[in-house]
Chain A
Amino acid sequence: MSDTAQHTAFDLDLAIAHIAHWLPSQGPIKDFIHHNTLHAVQDYPFHDGVAVAAQVYGAKSYLPLADYLKRYNERRISDQALEWAIAQADCGVYQEESLRASLFEPDGHSHYPPQSLANHGIRSAWLNHLEIDLNGMVHPVMFRLLSNFLDQGISRWAMPKPDERFWDCVLRLVQNSLLPLYPFHQPVVRQMLDAGPDQVILNCLGKIVGDETLYGQYLLEVLLAHPGWSGMVRIIEIQPNVLLAPRAISLKELLAVELACELAFIDKKHGHTFLQIAQLPNLHEIPLLERDAINPKVPLKMRVWHEAMEWSLHSELLLALREQAPVEQIAEHAPNVQALFCIDDRECSLRRYLEDIDSGIETFGAPGFFGIDFLYQGLDDAYPVAQCPVVIKPKHLILESTDKPQPDKSDKGESLSTLHFGAHSMLRGWLYTQTLGLAYALRLGWSVLRPGGHLPGIQSLSEVEAHGHLHLLRESEELNEDGYLLGFSLTEMADRVGGLLRNIGLTKQFAPLIVVVAHGSSSVNNPHFAAYDCGACSGKPGAPNARAFAWMVNHPQVREILREHGIAIPAGTHFVPALHNTSRDEISYFDQQDLDKAARHELHRFQHSMQHALQRNARERCRWFELGPKSHENAEAHRHVVARASSIFEPRPELNHSNNLYCVVGRRNLTRHLFMDRRAFLQSYDPNSDHDGSILVKVLSAVIPVCGGINLEYLFSRIDNSVYGAGTKLPHNVIGLLGVANGVEGDLRTGLPSQMIEVHEPARLLMVVEQTTVIADQAIAMLGGWREWLDNEWIRLVACDPVSRELYLYSSKGWTVAELAAGRPLPVASCSEKIIVGQTRTIPVHELERRQG
């Protein structure tokens, strides 16, 4: 076979581009961006997409049947919801009959996933035939090369020279070393390496596969045998700036090295002649991924059960929205304090308590970057980080500076308290272990027996002290060396601030004090720490955004421009930034130096209410912790969450978004008197100020990716934690600061670890928009790419009429009146504590009785 013939028939670049979309797209672990785990199939309707993915990756599609039956017996799945789900399934009469007959029949096998096509295709059939455990040989070699090449700072010696590509680096080590780089020294491989990656791939495929129609399939199976590393390489290839120390690598180079490695091992065992894939005796019986997986077979019974569960849960909120007592018109006078929170579901309960404690407080919700998109480099940061949702590419860089003298940084010696972060193998290590090693006995004893004590220097992140001020105002139009603008102009500030205020409907009735509460989370011994921080800030604590927002909106000239645009903020109104630590339930306030006396007084009162709210919040969170305190003492609960966040043996510093289920886009009145069990993302939005959906579309295009991404990532990580999720975090080993793997030579694990998702109820997000269907339609039409999630039902959308509270369910065919399937009337309770007492599972939405006056 001549080389030219190979080129014409098989387009390598096209094949790689096609394969790449099957790979997970999770970047290095320092930023954690929640996204749809199954983005590869989101162009299918939800159930079809899940079925395709299940076949490809060998994953489960739904919970085990027993779980649904259990929920049914606990009356968390109602009969109406089952009926509704059967109707949605759209099956024939006979099918329906047999479905109903078998609905409650337990089966022994539904909890095992199907065999993965990616791992049981032509490649594995061929390896079986050759009797060689190729993955076991090739993967350690490949992972070693990849992790050392991409390493961001764990190993002492780096593998690449500056600006060296992966391929060149491997080539250098193979060809210019006295010791052979195993197994690339096999003559057959060594000879072909000079030809460059393209030719190496084609040569190897020619020898291994032999049939061009199967080349693509083979490459796909090679890459999906280690999805974690393949996905990481792909991310770095297309977005090189996700790494701090830049590395040049591409999927093609990865494939070239890996195929050469495979060929070397096979050659070593079987010599030059071995059976090719094209010569396999039963070739036509082997399922091919792209041919056989895309005709999904959705398991009807499981689909019905899953939809019934989702619709039961969704109905609980919808019922409450429709049935709750109508809210009297808001009093004309402005509230005493307004507080702006992140939409995060973890703030849902805190807002409820805050308003309950002081009815003069009004809260708002908006994505926690508060509309200010920038790269931020704090005083102590080594590098700038993006502080905005991943869909936005920031153009502005904000630096922090201080007037205080800095501690002398010239002392580069290791401090004793962090000694254990160096490995110290030889002489210095000998000295240390001889002398200080015994001290670690005490330290170990201390951290095990007395968690919560301060571990020096580890958890300092989200409690960063704000010691400097932000350089927000741009002084020159010059770009810095990385192509960023340093700061914002006044108009840009006014645009951003005004945009946010308009989105949340806060354009009049400003209170004298407005607190802007960002959030972050502190945890120790947790490589996934970024997944605990603010999702709208790409997994960072949102403090810089809150500070920037408050600084901008406090700026007189910005207010001047805003006034021209119709947002008149009274001179007596002050904005104060704050940071809520969601794991420790603590809050810190920044930049209060400019407050006048009245505002200071208000802030003092607010702080008092907040402190109380945080304690009650801590107690509500404690009901989930099996090993937490069982008493009703708020203070004890609070001590527990603080200790939990700083003990080295606690794999669950908090449970994060694991309750997420609802997203409500509307006025606070819609949800103010509801107990939603920390399940709702709450975005403020005023339906009356938006006549053409232009505000709604702005809101939705931030809310859908952030909340939808969180929800879908939790959903799939929960459904199959070992394929879509990262498995249990207990054996995780940090690889090159890029990610975690099981053990020393495992594949990178993507998705969420089981400790984050185990109590999650895997249901799709229900997004309720307080708007008429007409205007909602206008907004959806402008939505662009994210519409795919709505049309294919990866997210359920319901419109709640602002006046009549009628509920309409969205589908790609149009709106239909939502038939609620709540099995019982809306429960009512007098206060949150009465609802949560003794409860250890999720609680249906309750209405809270309103206080008089």
Chain B
Amino acid sequence: MSVLLLACVLLPLIGFLLIFFSPDHEHRIAEISLWMTRIKGVAVLGLLVAWAAHGFANFEYQWLVLYQHDDYQFPLLFFLDRVGAAYLFVVWAVFSAIVKYCRVYLHREAGYKRFFQAIFGFAFGLNLIVLSGSIDMLFAGWEIVGISSFLLIAFYRHRPQPVRNALRAYTIYRFCDVGLLVGTWMSHLLFHESQHFSQLLTMFDPDNIPPAGYASLSILSWLIILAASGKSAQFPFSFWLPRAMEGPTPSSAIFYGALSIHLGVFLLLRTMPIWSYHYLPRLIVLSIGVLTVCVATLAEKTQSNIKGQVAYASIAQVGIMFVELALGLEGLVLLHFMGNAFLRCYQLLVSPSIVAHLLRVEGNVDSDFYIKNNEQLTFLPASIRNSLPDVLQNTLYVFALQEGQLELLVKKIFWEPLKNVGRQLNAVSLWVKILAGLAMLLIIAIAASGVSSVARIYLSMPISLAMAVVSLSAFSNKRSPFQVWHSVALSSILAGVAVWLMVPSAWSDVALFFSGIIPSWALGVLALSVLLRHYNFADEPFVFRAFAETRPGWSLMLFLSFLGLVGFPITPAFLGEDLLLSHASSQHPWFAAPITVSFVINGIAIARVYLRLCMGRPVELRGAV
């Protein structure tokens, strides 16, 4: 059984690697993908049968411990229960159908290999999430899904629109990942060694003493809900989902119709004992669900494009799932999830038929066709027209047209303040920056020369503040990719230094963190200097430079550096990030604030530079040598 479980997780990864190293040859790739889905099917069905044979008992399996240091350990831990089984099955079914579909649908498409790589990467992340046994594992899968989603939205990189929307979706993902990152850390803090999902249930058994106080449990619940509503495009983050429909139709179907959008629901199902323990978080989930249903239903009415309409319909259904979750109807949610996933997937796949359907079939069979029936095609439905005054009708329409103002709301509350602070920071004169830098060095020197631990903690405060400040300045820097790269690296290094100041014994973990960050930074700077040798970036900061097409090798290097710097689970920095958090904040919870700010912002700043440089359509350079 454990072998089957491992196979379920690892097969997509093997598929990804095989495709990555196979030549760019359509038939070969198609062969690999089809076989992988078949083998995967055997593994999934085998696992489910074995699990059923064991009487549907929850099953936990620890493969190995990846890292162990003092009381901290990072085990590769897997867990299968009813929820996981349902998700596992749907993921496999939809994934195999999509692979089969795409084998022909993407025939002769320029990015055949790229597409299947991303799809397999996505499947790997998904399986990791579904079968993860702890929040750490889940977070790793979460990040992988985020990045592959980002790559698939920007699949058609010649056009600025997909690239822009990829960044938009990534931004929301990143922001909501804070919930999970901090949640991971809090679960370390609260449950110590027992962050296994398998133990959550018993821990919250009404007979036992709750493992944490009301306040900290509430905060943890809120964080989880934040992460879930971001991924599932719930209030107030709904707007990113329709805009993410930029990739090939089947990829939209699998991501935003079927699977990715239900991950938030999965997270909530997994952590149900935590957030359903108190009533307030339940109430929050309920109200998020209700608000989403209202906004999405209205927004769907005024979507004049078919994919947007399906997207909002799907969001509304997930909203209903949130309501069901809040009411504790787990079984219903699972059923609802499966139905919605298949229906939306199918709807998106056949969405190009809508023209033929509406103009021909519906015109044929159903005299209800509304072009004929002008009554229905004029402004709002009669019931609203007759009962509301003009001004309210218009208001309702504007509300629906602007999709509940959610994007404006999120922009105003979250991004603009950050941008403004960053812009002001960048406007600060060079002298101030140099002085600040010297001050930092001085602080570090003082700390290194040996002062009391209390003093070190006070000294670490300005350092962590500086870390956030540096991140912010990277965020609003539009002119120099080098500066962005330096700032992000600097911000990460400052984070390490701050932790070292707080917990001197953690120097080895800090070193581990640096061993991921510093090479990534160096690689990035090298790639940048090669790519930008003949250009002055600041001349045209908004031009997409298409290096992924003209200089694919160095673009890949830049991408790897990007992944390394944002703590993607390919370098030790991913572990290091987790370690730093657990070290520092176990004693100094305030530290969570600056480090999460920089975590989010670094990722966005660096992704933006990457897109500007590598995406776009190459043009003949006039006057270039």
| A residues with CB within 8 A of B | 29-30, 58, 109, 112-115, 127-128, 131, 133, 135-136, 144-145, 147-148, 151-162, 172-173, 176-182, 244-245, 380-383, 409, 412, 415, 418, 420-421, 423-426, 429-430, 432-438, 440-441, 443-445, 448-449, 457-461, 524-527, 529, 626-627, 647-652, 722, 727-737, 740-746, 755, 758
Docked complex: B85-109 residues within 8 A CB-CB of A: 93-94, 97, 100-102, 104-109
Q: Specify the chain A residue showing the minimal Cβ separation from B340.
A: A433
Q: Check B343 against A731 for contact (C-beta < 8 Å).
A: no
Q: Check B156 against A154 for contact (C-beta < 8 Å).
A: no
Q: Check A529 against B355 for contact (C-beta < 8 Å).
A: yes
Extra pairs beyond A437-B341, A525-B349, A731-B162 (10, CB < 8 Å): A112-B620, A157-B397, A181-B402, A425-B313, A433-B340, A437-B342, A438-B335, A525-B352, A731-B252, A732-B249
Contacts of A145 in B (CB 8 A): 401
Q: Check A158 against B379 for contact (C-beta < 8 Å).
A: yes
Q: Check A433 against B106 for contact (C-beta < 8 Å).
A: no
A541–B612 Cα distance when bound, in Å, is 46
Distance in Å from the Cβ of B327 to the closest Cβ of chain A? 13
Q: Known interface pairs A382-B372, A744-B305. Does A458 touch B101 (Cβ–Cβ under 8 Å)?
A: no
A698–B386 Cα distance when bound, in Å, is 57
Q: Check A181 against B358 for contact (C-beta < 8 Å).
A: no
Q: Check B357 against A114 for contact (C-beta < 8 Å).
A: no
Q: Specify the chain A residue showing the minimal Cβ separation from B356.
A: A529
Q: Check B371 against A177 for contact (C-beta < 8 Å).
A: no
A745–B239 Cα distance when bound, in Å, is 12
Determine if B367 is an interface residue (Cβ-Cβ < 8 Å): yes
| B residues with CB within 8 A of A | 93-94, 97, 100-102, 104-110, 155-156, 158-162, 164-165, 242-243, 245-250, 252, 293, 296-297, 300-313, 315-317, 320, 332, 335-336, 338-343, 345-347, 349-372, 374, 377-381, 390-392, 394-395, 397-402, 405, 408, 478, 539-542, 617-622
Q: Specify the chain B residue showing the minimal Cβ separation from A152.
A: B371
Q: Known interface pairs A155-B304, A245-B377, A731-B246. Does A449 touch B620 (Cβ–Cβ under 8 Å)?
A: no
Q: Check B156 against A727 for contact (C-beta < 8 Å).
A: yes
Q: Check A158 against B378 for contact (C-beta < 8 Å).
A: yes
6 A-B pairs with least C-beta separation: A437-B339, A382-B363, A425-B316, A380-B364, A730-B248, A423-B313
Q: Check B104 against A649 for contact (C-beta < 8 Å).
A: yes
Contacts of A154 in B (CB 8 A): 303-306, 309, 354, 358
Q: Check A444 against B158 for contact (C-beta < 8 Å).
A: no
Among A180, A728, A733, the one with the most B-chain Cβ atoms within 10 Å of its Cβ is A733
Q: Check A423 against B300 for contact (C-beta < 8 Å).
A: yes
Contacts of A430 in B (CB 8 A): 317, 320, 336
Q: Check B358 against A157 for contact (C-beta < 8 Å).
A: no
Distance in Å from the Cβ of B173 to the closest Cβ of chain A? 18
Q: Check B619 against A58 for contact (C-beta < 8 Å).
A: yes
Contacts of B343 in A (CB 8 A): 420, 432-433, 436-437, 440
A147–B304 Cα distance when bound, in Å, is 6
Among A424, A524, A722, the one with the most B-chain Cβ atoms within 10 Å of its Cβ is A424
List 12 contacting pairs A-B, 8 Å CB cutoff, sorted by A. A136-B164, A156-B300, A159-B397, A159-B401, A380-B365, A420-B350, A421-B354, A429-B316, A433-B339, A459-B356, A742-B159, A746-B159
Q: Check A736 against B353 for contact (C-beta < 8 Å).
A: no
Q: Known interface pairs A457-B361, A743-B162, A744-B243. Does A526 touch B391 (Cβ–Cβ under 8 Å)?
A: no
Q: Specify the chain A residue showing the minimal Cβ separation from B102.
A: A649
A733–B94 Cα distance when bound, in Å, is 21
- Tell which of B93, B372, B541 touches A441, judged by Cβ atoms closer than 8 Å: B93
Among B252, B296, B300, the one with the most A-chain Cβ atoms within 10 Å of its Cβ is B300
Q: Known interface pairs A525-B352, A734-B351, A743-B245. Does A627 touch B104 (Cβ–Cβ under 8 Å)?
A: yes
Contacts of B371 in A (CB 8 A): 152-153, 244-245, 382-383
Q: Known interface pairs A433-B340, A438-B339, A743-B245. Does A158 touch B377 (Cβ–Cβ under 8 Å)?
A: yes
Q: Check A109 against B363 for contact (C-beta < 8 Å).
A: no
Q: Known interface pairs A157-B301, A732-B352. Does A115 touch B156 (Cβ–Cβ under 8 Å)?
A: no
Q: Check B378 against A162 for contact (C-beta < 8 Å).
A: yes
A448–B99 Cα distance when bound, in Å, is 10
Contacts of A648 in B (CB 8 A): 101, 349-350, 353
Q: Check A734 against B352 for contact (C-beta < 8 Å).
A: yes
Q: Check B104 against A148 for contact (C-beta < 8 Å).
A: no
Q: Check A733 against B366 for contact (C-beta < 8 Å).
A: no
Q: Known interface pairs A136-B164, A154-B358. Does A179 touch B405 (Cβ–Cβ under 8 Å)?
A: yes
Q: Check A412 against B368 for contact (C-beta < 8 Å).
A: yes
Q: Check B108 against A730 for contact (C-beta < 8 Å).
A: no
Q: Check A436 against B350 for contact (C-beta < 8 Å).
A: no
Count of inter-chain pairs, beta carbons less than 8 A: 349
Q: Known interface pairs A144-B401, A648-B350. Does A736 touch B304 (Cβ–Cβ under 8 Å)?
A: yes
Distance in Å from the Cβ of A84 to the closest Cβ of chain B? 28
Q: Check A182 against B346 for contact (C-beta < 8 Å).
A: no
A410–B234 Cα distance when bound, in Å, is 39
A151–B358 Cα distance when bound, in Å, is 12
A438–B303 Cα distance when bound, in Å, is 26
A511–B242 Cα distance when bound, in Å, is 60
Q: Check A746 against B161 for contact (C-beta < 8 Å).
A: yes
Contacts of A113 in B (CB 8 A): 619-620
Q: Check B358 against A758 for contact (C-beta < 8 Å).
A: no
Contacts of A178 in B (CB 8 A): 391-392, 394-395
Q: Specify the chain A residue showing the minimal Cβ separation from B30.
A: A627
A838–B164 Cα distance when bound, in Å, is 45
Q: Specify the chain B residue showing the minimal Cβ separation from A458.
A: B353
Q: Check A736 against B305 for contact (C-beta < 8 Å).
A: yes
Distance in Å from the Cβ of B163 to the closest Cβ of chain A? 10
Distance in Å from the Cβ of A73 to the closest Cβ of chain B? 22
Contacts of B347 in A (CB 8 A): 420, 423
Contacts of A745 in B (CB 8 A): 161, 165, 243
- Tell which of A112, A153, A160, A426 touches B619, judged by Cβ atoms closer than 8 Å: A112
A441–B95 Cα distance when bound, in Å, is 12
A358–B6 Cα distance when bound, in Å, is 65
A641–B171 Cα distance when bound, in Å, is 45
A803–B144 Cα distance when bound, in Å, is 73
Distance in Å from the Cβ of A789 to the closest Cβ of chain B? 29
Q: Check B402 against A179 for contact (C-beta < 8 Å).
A: yes
A219–B395 Cα distance when bound, in Å, is 31
Q: Check B541 against A131 for contact (C-beta < 8 Å).
A: yes
Q: Known interface pairs A433-B317, A526-B352. Does A156 touch B368 (Cβ–Cβ under 8 Å)?
A: no
A453–B315 Cα distance when bound, in Å, is 32
A134–B511 Cα distance when bound, in Å, is 44
A179–B394 Cα distance when bound, in Å, is 9
Among B94, B297, B343, B371, the one with the most A-chain Cβ atoms within 10 Å of its Cβ is B343
A147–B401 Cα distance when bound, in Å, is 11
Q: Known interface pairs A649-B105, A727-B156. Does A435 touch B339 (Cβ–Cβ under 8 Å)?
A: yes
Contacts of B622 in A (CB 8 A): 114-115
Distance in Å from the Cβ of A44 to the closest Cβ of chain B? 21
A693–B355 Cα distance when bound, in Å, is 43
A327–B165 Cα distance when bound, in Å, is 64
Q: Check A626 against B107 for contact (C-beta < 8 Å).
A: yes
Contacts of B358 in A (CB 8 A): 153-154, 421, 737
- Tell which of A440, A443, A627, A737 touches B359, judged by Cβ atoms closer than 8 Å: A737
Contacts of B312 in A (CB 8 A): 423, 425
Q: Known interface pairs A115-B619, A157-B380, A437-B339. Does A29 touch B355 (Cβ–Cβ under 8 Å)?
A: yes
- Tell which of B317, B370, B380 touches A153, judged by Cβ atoms closer than 8 Å: B370
Contacts of A729 in B (CB 8 A): 352
- Tell which of B249, B336, B340, B542 touches A127, judged by Cβ atoms closer than 8 Å: B542
A383–B478 Cα distance when bound, in Å, is 53
Q: Known interface pairs A114-B619, A423-B309. Does A412 touch B366 (Cβ–Cβ under 8 Å)?
A: yes
Contacts of B246 in A (CB 8 A): 731, 742-744, 746
- Tell which of B293, B361, B367, B542 touches A418, judged by Cβ atoms closer than 8 Å: B361
Contacts of B351 in A (CB 8 A): 733-734
Q: Specify the chain A residue showing the minimal Cβ separation from B153.
A: A743
Distance in Å from the Cβ of B273 to the closest Cβ of chain A? 25
